[in-house]
Chains A and B, each alone.
Chain A
């Protein structure tokens, strides 16, 4: 399929969906509107709500807050995951002692932590960051741990025979390997940083996209809920594109599925 055909078909799906939505929520079929506007709103209202947000500029503040929370959650969670991942991988005894607790905490659905974090860190930015950190940390931690553990013995022996000391092995062998594993999960961990921020906002805050959606829901403003969802999707897609660009730059050395012989 050529790029143009693909793009045309993709646009077609969106157009059909939007038209169906608009028609079914405004035009009665056999005397009955299939999608009552009260529950489903309609694309025109949703779109005008989005335009209004951007036109008046209210949305920017919320976007900035959510972005800031996501970035903080990602950076802190990743840093923690890298440190602990390295530590555990290089000290198997420490890893063995902590293993059941790591599994236990990771098994916990993070949403239940939100009230605790709100209590500890207040309703501001930090309770959302904390929630995102608990999500990001484990993904990065597991991947870095794997990455350090899975360095092929031959590559490691080669490093040793070339005269590397522990510090140089760390820099030239363990670190790049761990990083490649971490980057392979970058999309997931960035996505979870945003999830943490939005869920945290939804459960209690005064700003952010989650707050915006929660507010609209509180007054049965369905158009507002959908508008918030669309802005959120666009926001995540934009971030994801950024991640892809970073990934392409940093993982040039890795064979892609297509290039592998």
Chain B
């Protein structure tokens, strides 16, 4: 991407450790170096429990690395990352607010007058295809609709960086594809730096400019970085039929497979212990 823009996210030797209940230290992620350029879509893929979300939380400022640094647009990150919007894996909407209030809140707390905030929230709901559901409470919406509201809630604040933690994980296969295309459509219209965590390699290749592979935890490391040169605009469902897609998938999966097996063995051993 353009070299004049400072790098959106730069993790340098980031190590994240947790103190366990029994006093031992668990190293989730070790020495992670990762950079996301302005306007670049990077997907992180790795086996379950490898610390993908941990890395995302470091970038969000929700977690402090034990060692290493995180720089956001060339400034060291301290406290929460104010340039980032975060789309969570679990339901994170405020259940006591209607869809439109959930979307408007990001502007309201910034001091935008309520009428203006609501008008803009209404437009965002329309652009995620929920114009008719403004007055619904989250529990009256389907899982996919809630994700759409959450997407609008994050995007209305116009964050320069978008952090997504397996956002479409709980959805069914068809809804995931539709949401993926919606995400690409919105991202194409206004290119933000995106850090997208998923365990689904196909989804990662279909969406991203770069796919980063993490090893199985503990002490997970970044073990691979592929540039995805598939042409844009892409259609998530159709791109999976392309020959180039298959070649990339085979190549990356060759590396990922071993880690997935390692992660699986470790998780079963941990379960038996």
Contacts and interface: CB of A to CB of B under 8 A. Distances in A.
A160 interface: yes
B62 A157 contact: yes
B88 A157 contact: yes
Contact of B90 (A154, A172, A176, A254): A154
A163 B157 contact: yes
B86 A172 contact: no
Interface in A130-181: 152, 154-155, 157-165, 168, 172-173, 176-177, 180
A186 to B, nearest CB: 16
Interface string B75-113: 000001010111010111111111000000110011000
Contacts of A253: 95-98, 137-139
A154 B87 CA distance: 10
Contacts of A154: 88, 90-92
Given A154-B92, A176-B94, A252 B137 contact: yes
Interface in B143-183: 153-154, 157
The DSSP consensus for interface residues of chain B is loop
A160 B96 CA distance: 17
Interface residues of B, number: 28
Interface in B13-64: 60, 62
A161 B57 CA distance: 11
B90 A152 contact: yes
Contacts of A173: 94
Contacts of B157: 162-163
Contact of A161 (B80, B91, B94, B95): B80
A255 interface: yes
Interface of B: 60, 62, 80, 82, 84-86, 88, 90-98, 105-106, 109-110, 137-140, 153-154, 157
Given A154-B92, A160-B62, A253-B97, 14 more contacts: A155-B92, A158-B92, A158-B94, A160-B80, A161-B60, A161-B85, A161-B86, A162-B105, A162-B106, A162-B153, A168-B109, A176-B96, A253-B96, A255-B139
26 contacts: A152-B90, A154-B90, A154-B91, A155-B93, A155-B94, A155-B95, A157-B86, A157-B88, A158-B92, A159-B94, A160-B80, A161-B60, A161-B62, A161-B85, A162-B109, A162-B157, A163-B109, A163-B110, A172-B105, A176-B96, A177-B96, A180-B96, A253-B98, A253-B137, A254-B96, A255-B139
